């Protein structure tokens, strides 16, 4: 897996895939800079008049409802359908699902009308999409209720019929029957707004160069965690501001050897679908 992750990073850097983001007003600049630092080519395009044309020529489409409006949700659906027709992978970040009914309903509507390759969210957001209640405060997860994210991710993937990534201290990506658990990262990621949103877009960049969403997602999660660890060292305890800048540098500095040998392990599922 480590070798494959390095190869995917090299492929990404040579192909520089166009990632079409329909995202929120908080994280637009950070997302574009993070994708550029990694080696992808970001574009933000929201107008209903153009989203289908942009999505069709992109390597991946990332839908993010962080500052949703009725117009934005319509744009997501138009773009998502065009991407589906063109065979372009679509990712969804259901920011704040569960914080308000409108966020939950809009995420579920997108999932009904668009074939989504990967949904990535924190534990509270993913739980709310499956109809379970978890503590959520705006866009931030609570403590996750103590349950291992593996169980939640497996249940959500089965219920939503798509690959699901649940992130937090430990990350999980699964299609409900197999997947990966990824360790690493740094707590400072939770102190930088947009760290989750950028991660979903980074997963989009990998999905553009690797059609297996589990492998693409695992590579993105592994390298993102490695970049965070390098940035924390570089920031030297100065805090979230220094870390944010160091993190962009660390994304640019990722190499085939950056992924830790034991950062990612295959998800083992017991007979009957439960996690072991």
Ligand X SMILES: Nc1ncnc2c1ncn2[C@@H]1O[C@H](COP(=O)(O)OP(=O)(O)O)[C@@H](O)[C@H]1O
Please enumerate, by residue number, every residue annotated as part of a binding site for substrate: 44, 194
Provide φ and ψ at 177, rounded to 5°. Answer: -120, -25
User: Which C-beta is closer to Mg ion: that of 195 or that of 248?
Assistant: 195
Q: Which of 193, 229, 240, 242 is in the footprint of ligand TZP by CB under 6 A? A: 193
User: Which C-beta is closer to ligand X: that of 42 or that of 185?
Assistant: 185
Residue 24 binding ligand TZP, by CB under 6 A: yes
Residue 252: name its binding partner from ligand X, Mg ion, ligand TZP, none (Cβ under 5 to 8 Å by kind).
Answer: none
Q: Is the dihedral of CA 83, 78, 36, 69 positive or negative?
A: negative
Collapsing DSSP to helix, strand or coil, 121 comes out as strand
We find the least distance from the C-beta atom of residue 167 to ligand TZP, in angstroms, to be 10
Collapsing DSSP to helix, strand or coil, 195 comes out as helix
Residue 31 binding ligand TZP, by CB under 6 A: no
Strand arrangement, sheet containing 163-167: 41-44, 18-22, 60-64, 90-93, 118-122, 163-167, 171-174, 179-182, 264-266
Given the rule CB under 6 A, which of 104-112, 161-169, 191-199, 254-262 is the region that contacts ligand TZP? 191-199
CA distance 76 to 74: 5
Residue 41: name its binding partner from ligand X, Mg ion, ligand TZP, none (Cβ under 5 to 8 Å by kind).
Answer: none
Show binding-site residues for ATP.
120, 167
CA distance 172 to 119: 12
Say which residue the tokens 């500095």 belong to.
253
Q: Which of 90, 92, 165, 195 is in the footprint of ligand TZP by CB under 6 A? A: 195
CB 209 within 8 A of CB 202: no
- For ligand TZP, the binding residues in 36-75 under the rule CB under 6 A are 66-67
User: Which C-beta is closer to ligand TZP: that of 141 or that of 172?
Assistant: 141
Say which residue the tokens 């990694």 belong to.
38
CA distance 41 to 16: 6
- For ligand TZP, the binding residues in 134-173 under the rule CB under 6 A are 139
CA distance 258 to 7: 12
Residue 66: name its binding partner from ligand TZP, ligand X, Mg ion, none (Cβ under 5 to 8 Å by kind).
Answer: ligand TZP
Q: Which of 196, 204, 217, 225 is in the footprint of ligand TZP by CB under 6 A? A: 196
Residues lying near ligand X in the complex (CB under 6 A): 122, 140-141, 167-169, 171, 185-187, 189-190, 195-196, 199, 224-225
CA distance 54 to 18: 10
Neighbours of 181 (CB within 10 A): 22
We find the least distance from the C-beta atom of residue 28 to ligand TZP, in angstroms, to be 10
> One symbol per residue from 197 to 226: x for binding ligand TZP (CB under 6 A), - otherwise; what is it?
x-----------------------------
CA distance 148 to 150: 5
Residues interacting with ligand TZP, by CB under 6 A?
24, 26-27, 66-67, 95, 139, 193-197
Residues interacting with Mg ion, by CB under 5 A?
95, 196
């Amino acid at each position: 897996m480590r070798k494959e992750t390095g190869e995917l990073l090299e492929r990404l850097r040579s192909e520089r895939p166009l990632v079409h983001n329909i995202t929120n007003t908080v994280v637009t600049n950070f997302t574009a800079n993070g994708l550029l630092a990694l080696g992808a080519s970001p574009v933000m395009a929201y107008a209903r008049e153009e989203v289908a044309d942009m999505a069709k020529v992109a390597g991946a489409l990332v839908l993010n409802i962080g500052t949703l409006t009725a117009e934005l949700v319509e744009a997501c659906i138009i773009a998502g359908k065009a991407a589906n027709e063109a065979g372009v992978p679509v990712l969804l970040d259901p920011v704040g699902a569960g914080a308000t009914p409108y966020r939950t309903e809009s995420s579920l509507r997108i999932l009904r009308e668009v074939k989504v390759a990967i949904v990535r969210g924190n534990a509270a957001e993913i739980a709310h999409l499956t109809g379970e209640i978890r503590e959520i405060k705006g866009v931030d997860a609570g403590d996750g209720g103590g349950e291992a994210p593996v169980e939640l991710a497996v249940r959500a993937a089965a219920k939503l019929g798509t690959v699901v990534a649940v992130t937090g201290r430990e990350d999980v990506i699964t299609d409900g029957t197999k997947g990966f658990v990824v360790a690493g990262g740094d707590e400072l990621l939770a102190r930088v707004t947009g760290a989750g949103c950028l991660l979903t877009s980074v997963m989009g960049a990998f999905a553009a160069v690797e059609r297996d969403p589990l492998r693409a997602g695992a590579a993105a999660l592994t390298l993102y965690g490695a970049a965070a660890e390098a940035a924390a060292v570089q920031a030297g305890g100065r805090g979230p501001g220094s870390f944010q800048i160091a993190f962009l540098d660390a994304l640019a500095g990722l190499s085939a050897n950056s992924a830790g040998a034991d950062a990612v392990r295959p998800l083992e599922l017991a007979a009957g679908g439960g996690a072991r």
